[in-house]
Amino acid sequence: MNTTHSPRPRIVITGIGWVTPLGHAVESVWQRMLAGESGVGPITRFDASTFPTRFCAHVRDYDWRTFVRDAALHEGVLPNTAFALGAASQAWRDAGLDRFDAEGGLDRDRLGLYLGCGEGVIDFDSYVGSNLAGWDADQNTVDAARWYAAAARSMDAVTELEQEANMPLAHLAMEFGVRGPAYNCLTACAASTQAIGEATEVMRLGDADVMITGGAHTMIHPLGVTGFNRLTALSTRNESPETASRPFTADRDGFVLGEGAGIVILETLDHARRRGATILGEVLGYGASADAYRVTDMHPEGRGPLAAMQQALDDAGLTPAEIDYISVHGTSTHENDYAETRAIKRLFGERAPRVPMSSVKSMIGHLIAAAGVVETIVCVLAMRDQTVPPTINLHNPDPECDLDYVPNTARQVPVRTCLNNNYGFGGQNNTLILRRFE
């Protein structure tokens, strides 16, 4: 590791890409977000007719093979890796690294990866059978011994390997020839925000010139839905799924599961300038904390989120007065929305009600490990277009959540500096601060 002491390099964003329930092209998804469209609908991947929650935010009409240079390298990938390949390929091309590499300018020993990806999940119908052996639909439970026995009889070795959470890392390394630092973290819903923050630190230490970073995840499968139902974390608004994700409303009843991936390309400013890259934004600050409270609930006063936001501001050398927009975690659970609101109020004081903030989870659901990077890309686009997306379905505000969540309609506002929050089950909290490049 480089231990020389010099002014830390500026870290900039030069490429973005995502695969989401609203589509898998940056501009079209962004326009749908600004229009306040919902990507939520009935679960179609398995028979959910007996589940308490029968809807989600699926990625639809997506073929990862159209994004990669050689699909044969990646045969057998599971959805999390498939999503990561598409998002990374978009970001790679957006950054112009395909052209730069073709010209022989890329030093792959200085090219790194830092992902926040969840575990892969097999196709239940293909590997366990359409009757989901060991599944008790009436009780909404799984007999684990029977299920795993059925899976073991039908699963091949490659599929078993592809379930590991580091497989997106391995496939992206193959696709782009990464020979520098390569890491994966899995800190639940904070993972991809942490990955971007830690990738920034790797580059500040001088260990890479370019980092591919972000995350991918899906938990839209019987075990994932069952687990969150047992935690009473999911909305059960089956009669109106497109309005079920309703952060900061008085009648919110849980989050909506989403899936997908997002990738951003980070570079040192010197490297980006040398190759003439278009710079989309700058990472100014990163903060991380732990609640040390409960594994399923945030501390009601939001002390962990408050600490992460303050660390990020300190790292950026900024004050709360310099934040123009907040991408809130905003899950649509009672505990999260209240605690995050409390933390923002404590940090921003009298200015808190005047800072626009929104949750795109109201439109695309909760992408779990991939949520943070998608919301980071939202910040990049908000700075570019001077427009912030809405929090939809916000018609009946919770009196305890009384900040400006940009209800239902996108808004044009001056956006120079953004703060992005993400929190994970277990009490992990991560915050990024981004600035429009100047």
Which secondary-structure segment (H or E) carries 437?
none
pLDDT score of 67 more than 90: yes
Catalytic pick among 56, 185, 189, 418: 189
206-243 burial code (b ≥16 CB/10 A, e <16): bebbbbbbbbbbbbbbbebbbebbeeebbbebeeebbb
- Bridge partner list, 114: 183, 213
**Does residue 219 carry a pLDDT above 70?**
yes
Q: Could you give the CA distance from residue 64 to residue 80 in angstroms, rounded to a whole number?
A: 11
Task: Give the pLDDT band (50/70/90) at residue 207.
Answer: very high
Look at residues 247, 274, 301 and tell me which one is the last residue of a structural domain. 274
Rounded Cα gap, residues 382 and 392, in angstroms: 17
pLDDT reported for residue 1: 42
Of 232, 247, 274, the last residue of a domain is: 274
Same domain as 145, residue 27 = yes
Q: What is the mean pLDDT of residues 408-422?
A: 98
Give the model's confidence band at 6: pLDDT under 50 very low, under 70 low, under 90 confident, else very high.
Answer: low
Same domain, 232 and 342: no
Q: Are residues 253 and 344 in the same domain?
A: no
Neighbours of 49 (CB within 10 A): 9
Separation of alpha carbons 45 and 79, rounded Å:
12
Stretch 213-217: mean pLDDT: 97
What are phi and psi for residue 279, nearest 5 degrees? -100, 125
At 65, the pLDDT band (50, 70, 90 cuts) reads: very high
Q: What's the rounded mean pLDDT across residues 89-98?
A: 97
- Token couple for 210: 């370019």
Tell whether 2 is covered by a domain. no
Alpha-carbon gap, residue 24 to 327, rounded angstroms: 20
Top pLDDT among 432 and 47 is at 432
Both 151 and 246 in one domain: the answer is yes
Same domain, 188 and 328: no
pLDDT score, position 155: 59
pLDDT digits (tens, 9 = 90+) for 344-376: 999 999 999 999 999 999 999 999 999 999 999
The reply to whether 280 falls in a domain is no
Confidence of residue 137 (pLDDT cuts 50, 70, 90): very low
Instruction: Tell me what pLDDT residue 135 has.
Output: 45
In a domain, 6, yes or no: no
- 294 and 151 both lie in a single domain: no
- State whether 169 and 253 are in the same domain: yes
pTM (2 decimals)? 0.92
Within a 13 Å sphere around the CA of 221, how many CA atoms are in the beta-carbon half? 20
* DSSP H or E segment with residue 42: strand 41-42
pLDDT category of residue 129 using cuts at 50, 70 and 90: very low
* pLDDT category of residue 27 using cuts at 50, 70 and 90: very high
Instruction: Give the pLDDT of residue 331.
Output: 96
Is 77 in the same domain as 208? yes
Q: Quick one: pLDDT at residue 223?
A: 87
The lowest-confidence range among 35-39, 301-305, 359-363, 407-411 is 301-305
Average pLDDT score over residue span 17-31:
98
Residue 3, domain member (yes or no)? no
Task: Determine which one of 56, 221, 329, 379 is catalytic.
Answer: 329
Residue 131: band (very low, low, confident or very high) from pLDDT cuts 50, 70, 90: very low
pLDDT above 70 (res 59):
yes
Beta strands 210-218 and 111-117 are parallel
> Where a domain ends, among 274, 293, 326?
274
Alpha-carbon dihedral 361, 202, 268, 13, rounded to 10 degrees: -10
DSSP states along 102-115 = HTT---GGGEEEEE
Confidence at 132, pLDDT banded by 50, 70, 90:
very low
Is pLDDT of 150 > 80? no
Mean pLDDT for 182-207 is 96
Residue 170 to residue 185: CA distance in whole angstroms: 13
- Express each pLDDT in 230-270 by its tens digit: 999 999 999 999 999 999 999 999 999 999 999 999 999 99
Reduced to 3 states (helix: H, G, I; strand: E, B; else coil), residue 291 is coil
Q: Which of 58, 74, 299, 366 is catalytic?
A: 366
Distance, first Cα to last Cα, the chain = 30
Q: How many domains does the chain have?
A: 2
Q: Are residues 45 and 18 in the same domain?
A: yes
366 assigned to active site = yes
Is residue 146 scored above 70 in pLDDT?
no
Is the model more confident about 426 or about 275?
275
Q: pLDDT grade, residue 160 (50/70/90)?
A: low
Task: Answer yes or no: is 279 within a domain.
Answer: no
**pLDDT confidence bin for 438, thresholds 50/70/90:** confident
Cα 307 → chain centroid: 21
Query: Domain range for residue 386?
Result: 285-435
| 220 phi and psi angles, rounded to 5 deg | -85, 80
Q: pLDDT averaged over the chain? A: 91
Residue 141: pLDDT band with limits 50, 70, 90: low
Would residue 312 count as lying in a domain? yes
